[in-house]
A and B are shown apart, each in its own frame.
Chain A
C-alpha cells in the first residue's frame, strides 16, 4: 500500500484540487486530508461521516481561584508569559489559554495545589465514505496547537484502512515546512510537489524539497498554472532536474478548476478541459513512478 503525499511549500498552488483530481483517477483510493487547520478537501470529496472522534492532545493549566493565594510564583516560573494578574483590587491570576504550552511548571511550583493540568479537546477527526473510497479528515479548533500530532493520528488511521486491498493512500498536505508538514512527510513512499511558476513558488518548493530530501523520500514536481510564466516554469523544471525530482508535467492555468470547485466536483468530473487533460497525463506518469518501486538515488542536499 504506497502512500503518496501531496505538498507544495507555498500555499494556494493547487494541492487540494490536484489531490481531488487524482482521487477521481485512482478510484478506489483511501484519502487523508492532513491540512488540518484549513482543511478543504471535504468541500469537493463530499464525505459522508461514519465515525466522529474527539481529538485530545497536549495539556492546559487550569487555575482554581478558591485555592490560589496570588503569590505569583507561577508567574515568575512561566516561560511563556501565560499567567497574568488582573487589575481589579482582588489581584487575581489568570492563565491565558492561547499562550499556555501545557508544560506543567506552574503546577509544579504552586504550593497551594491551585493549578491542575487538563487535556483539552483540540478538535475532531472523522472517518468518512466518499465516492472515491474511505476518507480520514479532521477539524482542529481555531488557534489550537498540536496539529502535527493530529496529522500523525490521521495518517495512522488511514494506513490501517488502506492495508485492505484498496491500493493507494492519497494524502493532502499542509503548506509550509513546520510541524504539520514534517508529520505529513515522515515515512511516506513518494511526495508530489504541486508548485506554480512564481518566484515565491520556486523559493518555497526548494525549502519543502530539502525537508523531503532529509527524509530520503523520492519526489516529483507538477507545475500548475504553468502558462502564467513560461520563463519561471523553465526555471522550476531546471531546478527539478538538479534536485533529482521527476518532472510530471505542466498544467495550464484553467478557470475550470474554480468552476469545478464551485460545483463541488473535481476538475475531471467537470468535463473536458485543458487542465483535466494535463492532469490525466501527469497521473499516468505518476502511476508508473509509484509502481516502479525504485527509490531515487541519494540526492545531494544543498543549503539555501
Chain B
C-alpha cells in the first residue's frame, strides 16, 4: 500500500504530516517514509535516520565516438530536446537537456553513439526507530527531478506501508511521485493561495484517477471554507489541524511535533486511522 502526501502550494505542512503519520502508523505495522520532494528533501531533518545504503541515480547520456562520427548531424536533428548540436568539427552534447531516450544512438548511421551514464542525484536508504527511510536528492544545478523520483520509489519496500512525501506544484514531478499511489492525502490551508492550489491539485488527482482525502492545516489562520470545493470534487475532509503557534515553534527546531505536543498527536492519530480506513475501502 502506497499513500501519497501532496499539496500544490508549498509550505502547507506535507513533510510535517508525512513524517508524523509514519511515526504513528509504524507502531502497529512496518512503515516506510519515502521522500520524493527531491528538489528540497526535508523529511530527514525530522526523522534523523541512520543511513545504511547510498546510491547514485544515473541516467543514460550519449557518448559519441569521435572517430566513427561522420558529423552528419542526424542525431542532433532527431533530438527533440536540443541536447545535441553538430557544430563544425564536433557534435556537442548538453547533458542537462538529455532525456535519455536513446533516439540518437538509434538513428546514427555510423554506429558512433553508445549510451553512457551520468549521475544526477542520490537515493539513500536507512531507518529511524521503527520507521524505514528512503530519500531522493536531486543534485543542485540539475533540472530534471522525475528520474530521481522514479529511482527513489524503486528503492521503496513494497512489503511496508509506504508514505510518499510528494513535491509541491502540479507538474510532471508531482505526477511522477503520486501516479503509482493507492491513495493521496492533500494538505491545504484555508487561505486564497491554499484553496487555489488545492483546486489545481484535485484536477491532477482526478486526471490520474486516484482516490484522495483532504487535510485542512492551520485552520483559523484563514477563514475560507474548504468544504464546498471538496464536496464538488467528491473528496472527504479527513482532519482539521488548528493554527497553533506551538506547532510552528516545534517544527522550526526540527523536533517531532507528535512527541512534543500530545493534543496535536491525538488529532494526527485520528487522521492516521481515517487514512487507513479510507485507503483500504477500494469501492468508495
Contact across chains for B254 and A145 when beta carbons are under 8 A apart: no
Chain B CB within 8 A of A217 CB = no
Chain B CB within 8 A of A167 CB = no
Contact across chains for A262 and B42 when beta carbons are under 8 A apart: no
Chain A CB within 8 A of B168 CB = yes
Chain B CB within 8 A of A250 CB = no
Q: Given contacts A12-B9, A38-B9, is CB(A174)–CB(B169) below 8 Å? A: yes
Q: How far is the CB of A78 from chain B (nearest CB, A)?
A: 8
Contact across chains for B196 and A101 when beta carbons are under 8 A apart: no
Chain B CB within 8 A of A144 CB = yes
Q: How far is the CB of B187 from chain A (nearest CB, A)?
A: 10
Contact across chains for A228 and B248 when beta carbons are under 8 A apart: yes
Chain A CB within 8 A of B94 CB = no
Task: Bits for B243-256, please: 1 = Cβ < 8 Å to A, else 0.
Answer: 00100110111100
CB-CB under 8 A from A178, the residues of chain B are 39, 138, 142-145, 173
Task: Bits for B39-52, please: 1 = Cβ < 8 Å to A, else 0.
Answer: 11010010000000
Q: How far is the CB of B196 from chain A (nearest CB, A)?
A: 6
Chain A CB within 8 A of B175 CB = yes
Most buried by B among A10, A16, A102: A10
Contact across chains for B248 and A225 when beta carbons are under 8 A apart: yes
Which listed residue, A104, A145, A231, A253, touches B172 by the CB 8 Å rule? A145
Task: Bits for A133-156, please: 1 = Cβ < 8 Å to B, else 0.
Answer: 000000010111101100000000
CB-CB under 8 A from B200, the residues of chain A are 37-38, 142
Contact across chains for B252 and A177 when beta carbons are under 8 A apart: no
Give the contact-size bracket for chain A: 35 or more
Q: Given contacts A105-B101, A178-B39, A261-B192, is CB(A148)–CB(B143) below 8 Å? A: yes
Chain A CB within 8 A of B8 CB = yes
Contact across chains for A105 and B39 when beta carbons are under 8 A apart: no
Q: How far is the CB of A113 from chain B (nearest CB, A)?
A: 16
Contact across chains for B196 and A40 when beta carbons are under 8 A apart: yes
Contact across chains for A214 and B140 when beta carbons are under 8 A apart: yes
Q: Considering the chains assembled together, what is the distance between the CA atoms of A16 and B197 in angstroms?
A: 13
Contact across chains for A103 and B101 when beta carbons are under 8 A apart: yes
By the criterion of a CB under 8 Å from any partner CB, how many residues of chain B are at the interface? 60
Contact across chains for A199 and B222 when beta carbons are under 8 A apart: no
Q: Considering the chains assembled together, what is the distance between the CA atoms of A262 and B189 in angstroms?
A: 12
Q: Given contacts A37-B169, A145-B171, is CB(A105)–CB(B102) below 8 Å? A: yes
Task: Bits for B127-160, please: 1 = Cβ < 8 Å to A, else 0.
Answer: 0000000000010111111000000000000000
Q: Given contacts A142-B203, A143-B172, is CB(A104)–CB(B42) below 8 Å? A: no
> What secondary structure prevails in chain A residues at the interface with B?
loop
The stretch of B10-18, B231-239, B264-272 in contact with A is B10-18
Interface residues of A in 247-291 (CB under 8 A from B): 253, 255, 258, 261-262, 264
Contact across chains for A105 and B40 when beta carbons are under 8 A apart: no
Q: Considering the chains assembled together, what is the distance between the CA atoms of A143 and B205 in angstroms?
A: 9
Which listed residue, B103, B170, B221, touches A142 by the CB 8 Å rule? B170
Chain B CB within 8 A of A18 CB = no
CB-CB under 8 A from A43, the residues of chain B are 192-193, 196
CB-CB under 8 A from A177, the residues of chain B are 39-40, 138, 140-141
Task: Bits for B1-45, please: 1 = Cβ < 8 Å to A, else 0.
Answer: 000000011111001000000000000000000000001101001
Q: Considering the chains assembled together, what is the distance between the CA atoms of A196 and B221 in angstroms?
A: 17
Chain B CB within 8 A of A211 CB = yes
* Residue in chain A with minimal CB distance to B168: A11
Chain B CB within 8 A of A203 CB = yes
* Residue in chain B with minimal CB distance to A214: B141
Which listed residue, B40, B78, B197, B252, touches A9 by the CB 8 Å rule? B40
Chain A CB within 8 A of B106 CB = yes
Q: Considering the chains assembled together, what is the distance between the CA atoms of A143 and B176 in angstroms?
A: 9
Interface residues of A in 159-194 (CB under 8 A from B): 174-182
Chain A CB within 8 A of B92 CB = no
Q: Considering the chains assembled together, what is the distance between the CA atoms of A12 and B203 in angstroms?
A: 21
Contact across chains for A262 and B192 when beta carbons are under 8 A apart: yes
Interface residues of A in 31-84 (CB under 8 A from B): 35, 37-38, 40, 43, 58-59, 77, 79-80
CB-CB under 8 A from A117, the residues of chain B are 80
Sample of 27 A–B contacts (CB below 8 Å): A10-B42, A11-B10, A12-B9, A12-B12, A38-B169, A77-B102, A79-B102, A80-B101, A103-B81, A103-B101, A108-B78, A109-B106, A142-B170, A143-B208, A144-B171, A177-B141, A178-B173, A180-B169, A181-B39, A196-B11, A198-B251, A198-B252, A200-B251, A203-B42, A228-B248, A228-B249, A229-B253
Ranked nearest first, the 10 interchain pairs of A and B with the lowest CB-CB distance are A11-B10, A12-B11, A103-B101, A176-B39, A199-B254, A179-B143, A229-B252, A37-B171, A175-B10, A200-B42
- Residues on A lying within 8 angstroms of B by beta carbon are 9-13, 16, 35, 37-38, 40, 43, 58-59, 77, 79-80, 98, 101-105, 108-109, 117, 140, 142-145, 147-148, 174-182, 196-200, 203-204, 207, 210-211, 214, 225, 228-229, 231-232, 253, 255, 258, 261-262, 264
Given contacts A103-B99, A108-B107, A262-B223, 9 further A-B contacts (CB under 8 A): A12-B10, A98-B208, A143-B204, A175-B11, A178-B142, A178-B144, A198-B252, A232-B253, A262-B222
